[in-house]
Amino acid sequence: MKSTQYKSRESDENGIIHWSDEENQIWSELYARQIPLVKSRACPQFLEGLDRVGLSEDRIPQLPDINRELKAATGWQTAEVPALIPFSEFFRLLANKQFPVATFIRTREEFDYLEEPDIFHEVFGHCPLLSNPAFAHFTHTYGKLGLEASKEDRVYLARLYWFTVEFGLVKCNDELKIYGGGILSSPGETVYSLDSDKPQRKPLDPMAALRTPYRIDIMQPLYYILEQFDDLFSLAEMDIMAMVQEAKKLGLFEPLFPPKEKKAG
């Protein structure tokens, strides 16, 4: 696990976190910046989930409120976690229909970008779609597979998650829309993923996704596209672990990005 400057807040006996005025203000500004962008670019399922979950515009949502809506829709809940958690804990939570939410929010110094997933990324980017049965089923299945997988196999599974749950695009009435939470919580990538002529956009081939390297600290050079949103159901029913074994035999594709520069010192 990498280190982080952030420390998650702990809730009180009622599950409530007492956020500061500044923390609530940062949420409010992030929300106000992102909503106009996603209204025209997110898939309908995300926008429906946004309405259902009912996120506050002016303060960080409380997880018990989100849990009430997710439980009624798909049986999911959120789980308070530290800023960074091991892969094993991540998969254990998903396998139990609990979505990990790191209960901290970024500082102003990292307002535009941070590597760690904060509460804005987790709650705004992912929780709305957890109210959708197809997305919830795929995420649950993914968690169960990852829980039983070897350390090496989890690295391959992470690529499939990256190119779907985090950075996936989907066709909606012949238009491209966004469903990946990594895109939907980033203003720059929300525009770039659909409007830029730089990245490649290809139909989702699960085997190809398993073999595609990625970097977390750059705009993505490649996005995979679901033919329709409910294809997440059929993806969950595939023999994903057999594909992982095949992908290991075939090896990775050449990266579409330069290697990360090592910091001096």
Residue numbering of the annotated binding site for Fe cation: 121, 126, 166
Dist. CA 222–CA 212, nearest whole Å = 9
Based on the residue annotation, tell me whether 137 is a catalytic residue of this protein. no
Based on the residue annotation, tell me whether 126 is a catalytic residue of this protein. yes
Based on the residue annotation, tell me whether 166 is a catalytic residue of this protein. yes
Question: Under a CB-based contact definition with an 8 Å cutoff, are residues 76 and 70 in contact?
Answer: yes
3-class DSSP state for residue 204?
coil
Burial classification of residue 168, based on how many CB atoms lie within 10 Å of its CB (0-12 exposed, 13-18 middle, 19 or more buried): buried
Based on the residue annotation, tell me whether 185 is a catalytic residue of this protein. yes
Q: Which two tokens stand for residue 12?
A: 């009180």
Spot the catalytic one: 8, 69, 126, 140: 126
Q: Which two tokens stand for residue 159?
A: 């690529």
Dist. CA 34–CA 186, nearest whole Å = 8
Q: Which two tokens stand for residue 21?
A: 């005025």
Spot the catalytic one: 8, 185, 186, 193: 185
Spot the catalytic one: 23, 122, 166, 189: 166
Reported residue count of the chain is 265
Spot the catalytic one: 23, 69, 121, 189: 121
Q: Which residues contact 107 (CB under 8 A, 6 or more apart)?
A: 26
Q: Which of the residues are catalytic?
A: 121, 126, 166, 185
